[in-house]
Structure 1
Amino acid sequence: MKSLQQSFLVPFTYSVFFTEDIFEERNHILKGLINKSPDEKVLVIYDENVLCKSDNLLADTNQYFEKNLPGQLTEVMILPGGEAIKNETGRVNEILEAIERGKLSRHSYIIVVGGGALLDLAGYAASIAHRGIRLIRIPTTVLAQNDSGVGVKNSVNYFNKKNFLGCFAPPYAVINDRKFLMTLEQRDWIAGIAEAIKVSLIKDEEFFYFILSNASSLVAKDQDIMQELIYRCAELHMQHIGGDDPFERGSSRPLDFGHWAAHKLEQMDMYQIRHGEAVAVGIVLDVTISYLRNYISQKSWYQIFDCINQCGFKDIIATYLPFLITNYLELEKGLHEFREHLGGKLTIMLLAAIGKGIEVGTIEGEEILRSLKYANSYYPKNEISQL
């Protein structure tokens, strides 16, 4: 028998910029990135929700390219935002058609401006065209700026399963523009805080208490406090990605704390709930499982609930816990789907303490139901609201 073996390393490097008014003529971040390839073409993809809330943004974008990168912009596409777009795989073909129409090469650039769902979808299209076109992400939501937009994942939903189709493909660069955050509705502003709570709980106790002590300022749209949160959260995510398993070859998914239930809840709710809201519900469940297993103290359990409630998730959680109790058998299927997504071995992140995660290999259906009921008992019945 003969065999050959190959082994090689491919380094990945990309920057996350923090700025304001990226398409202002004197802001040269984009110009500096694209001028490294002055003859290459650029496709811009916009989330229509962003354009609707930003006066003159389309005109400013065209003017920016005319002044700073003349002749390189091939097209500005406008697509819907929101998680539902990831169910429309035909949108991937629309982007591929625009790539072909503009005759982009693998050395060209796609700039996607929008929330996490559109970033996921456009990133997936960019990764499969010519085996990978340079992608510049400009996230416009709190959640995308502090979490999904700075990572290496791209995906669409398929077979009614979240992120069934996807790939790991690092972006060429990420640009967090704080100006876009001021266009967010309160619900979307708050939703992104859930991912910060998540990463603080498993990685940084000090960061958790920063969020807890500044909860009222965050809810009140204090931009400076939010920028501190986004920066630290993005930093923790990038540190994790730069670790031993950036492309998740193993079954460990620590950054998916609270996510196995969140992903299933989104599907069960027909993607009406925001991803960050679903993550908040998932955190409540996994934190309660951790407490009932005696991994964390009652004091920690109360502090985490207090933080989540103060950050604006109280009504969401009080609404969806009864829904999950009624449909817990359907929720339990999310564990099996999560196991399949991981490659056959279930690894769930729970809490050993605030700031420290612990991986477990089993969660039983009765344990899920008991934890849902226990968490629900925290909320007086007369405070449960319907969205």
Structure 2
Amino acid sequence: MHHLQQSFTVQFNYQVFFTAGLFEPGNTLLSSFLSNVKSNAHRKIFFIIDSGVADAHPQLIQDIKNYFAINKEVKLVEHILIVAGGERVKNDISYFDHVLAAVNAYGVDRHSYIAAIGGGSVLDMVGYAAAVSHRGIKLIRIPTTVLSQNDSGIGVKNGINYFNKKNFLGTFAPPVAVFNDERFLATLSDREWRSGISEAIKVALIKDADFFKWIEENAGLLTRRDMAAMNHLIWRCASLHMEHIAGADPFESGSSRPLDFGHWSAHKLECLSNFDVKHGEAVALGIALDTVYSNLSGRLSSAASRRVVDLLMALGFEVTHPLLQVNEGTSPIMDGLEEFREHLGGELTIMLLVAIGKGEETHEMDAGLLEKAGHILATSTH
């Protein structure tokens, strides 16, 4: 018997930049990045913008055109595609098809760039389209929400929903660069502003007790939309996420998903609510449920559990939802555990808390304790 064996490693490098006014004529951050990538090919850049961003920043398209009229390192594709924002762009396959059709029509090749400007859903969909077109077109992400600037926009995942399941189709494909522009945050609704903070609480709870304490101390500034406080939150949250990606399993070949603390119920709740509950809001609810469960299962102190729930409420998050209740061990949310197990590829692995800043993984959840945790949160008099 003969056999051949091959093994190789692919190096991925990307940077996350922080700026204000990315497309202002005097801001050379983007043009410098594009000129530093040496290529003899005739490179293009094709922009896709979240409709919510385009509406909130009516001058944006003209700013982009003016920018590339001055900075000619790459050729701007004249047509700038506007797509719906929010979960709809991941649920309706026609948006994905539009991107592929444009890539084909405008000759956007592997040496060219697709630049996505928008919230996490748009970045996810465009990232998936970029990853599968020509086996991978260079993706530049320009996240415009708190959630995408501190979490999804700086990660290596992308995808769309299929079979009514979140991220059923997708790939691991890092961007070539991410540009976080604080000016996009100024036009967010209060709800969107708050929504993204939950991912910072999540990563602090499993990785950094000092960061959790900082969020507690600055909750007032954050709710009053203090930009300096938000910039720090985004920077720290992004850096913790990126440290994790650089660890042992960036493409999640195992069943361990430590960064998905609070997410097994959050993903299901989003679907059950027809995405009326935003991802960040669902994550806050999931964090509350899994924190109280961590306490009831003997892992986490009552004082620490109370701190987490108090912080979520201080920031204006709901901590209970009718769809999150488990009744006699059965409820639609329990299907979320099985779907999460499928998504992980076999073994159910749930991150729970043993202390603020420290998690541990378990492979089973007790329906009776989940019911009790939901009841405690529903009747909480915080």
Give the TM-score, by structure 1 length. Answer: 0.95
Q: Choose the corresponding residue for 2:359, options 327, 344, 357.
A: 357
Partner of 2:119: 115
Q: Choose the corresponding residue for 2:300, options 264, 283, 296.
A: 296
Q: Distance in 2 between matches of 1:343 and 1:142?
A: 30
Q: Distance in 2 between matches of 1:112 and 1:278?
A: 25
Amino acid at match of 2:335: K
Q: Distance in 1 between matches of 2:74 and 2:261?
A: 45
Task: Give a deviation string over 1:55-85, Cα, whole Å, max 9, x none.
Answer: 4111111111111127711121000100121
Partner of 2:178: 174
More displaced 10-residue stretch of structure 1: 32-41 or 54-63? 32-41
The answer as to 2:24 corresponding to 1:21 is no
Partner of 2:224: 220
SS in structure 1 opposite 2:12?
Answer: coil
State whether residues 329 and 365 of structure 1, in contact with CA within 8 Å, keep that contact through their aligned partners in structure 2: no
State whether residues 138 and 175 of structure 1, in contact with CA within 8 Å, keep that contact through their aligned partners in structure 2: yes
The alpha-carbon deviation at position 181 of structure 1 amounts to 0.3
SS in structure 2 opposite 1:312?
Answer: coil
Partner of 1:159: 163
Aligned-pair identity in percent equals 50
More displaced 10-residue stretch of structure 1: 361-370 or 75-84? 361-370
Q: Distance in 2 between matches of 1:279 and 1:76?
A: 33
Partner of 2:11: 11
Partner of 2:45: 42
Task: Give a deviation string over 1:332-382, Cα, whole Å, max 9, x none.
Answer: 0000000001111000000010000110000132222121112222147xx
Partner of 2:54: 51
Q: Distance in 1 between matches of 2:89 and 2:74?
A: 30
Partner of 1:125: 129
Task: Give a deviation string over 1:127-176, Cα, whole Å, max 9, x none.
Answer: 00010000000000000000000000001000110010000000000000
The answer as to 2:261 corresponding to 1:257 is yes
Partner of 2:270: 266
Q: Distance in 2 between matches of 1:343 and 1:369?
A: 26
Amino acid at match of 1:7: S
Amino acid at match of 2:48: I
Amino acid at match of 2:347: K
- Superposition RMSD on alpha carbons, in Å? 1.3
Task: Give a deviation string over 1:95-121, Cα, whole Å, max 9, x none.
Answer: 011101110111100000000000000
Amino acid at match of 2:361: E
SS in structure 1 opposite 2:46?
Answer: strand
Partner of 2:68: 65
SS in structure 1 opposite 2:225?
Answer: coil
Q: Distance in 1 between matches of 2:158 and 2:284?
A: 22
Give the TM-score, by structure 2 length. Answer: 0.96
Amino acid at match of 2:353: L
Aligned residues: 376
Q: Distance in 1 between matches of 2:137 and 2:74?
A: 19
The answer as to 2:103 corresponding to 1:99 is yes
Partner of 2:153: 149
State whether residues 131 and 137 of structure 2, in contact with CA within 8 Å, keep that contact through their aligned partners in structure 1: yes
Amino acid at match of 1:40: R
SS in structure 2 opposite 1:18?
Answer: strand
The alpha-carbon deviation at position 312 of structure 1 amounts to 1.4
State whether residues 348 and 360 of structure 1, in contact with CA within 8 Å, keep that contact through their aligned partners in structure 2: yes
Amino acid at match of 1:11: Q
State whether residues 118 and 143 of structure 2, in contact with CA within 8 Å, keep that contact through their aligned partners in structure 1: yes
Return 5+ residue gaps in structure 2 as ranges. Answer: none
The answer as to 2:287 corresponding to 1:308 is no
Q: Distance in 2 between matches of 1:202 and 1:377?
A: 26
More displaced 10-residue stretch of structure 1: 35-44 or 141-150? 35-44
State whether residues 290 and 352 of structure 1, in contact with CA within 8 Å, keep that contact through their aligned partners in structure 2: yes
Amino acid at match of 2:372: R
Distance 1:71 1:209, change over 3 A: closer
SS in structure 2 opposite 1:81?
Answer: coil
Partner of 1:384: none
Q: Distance in 2 between matches of 1:84 and 1:288?
A: 32
State whether residues 332 and 368 of structure 1, in contact with CA within 8 Å, keep that contact through their aligned partners in structure 2: no
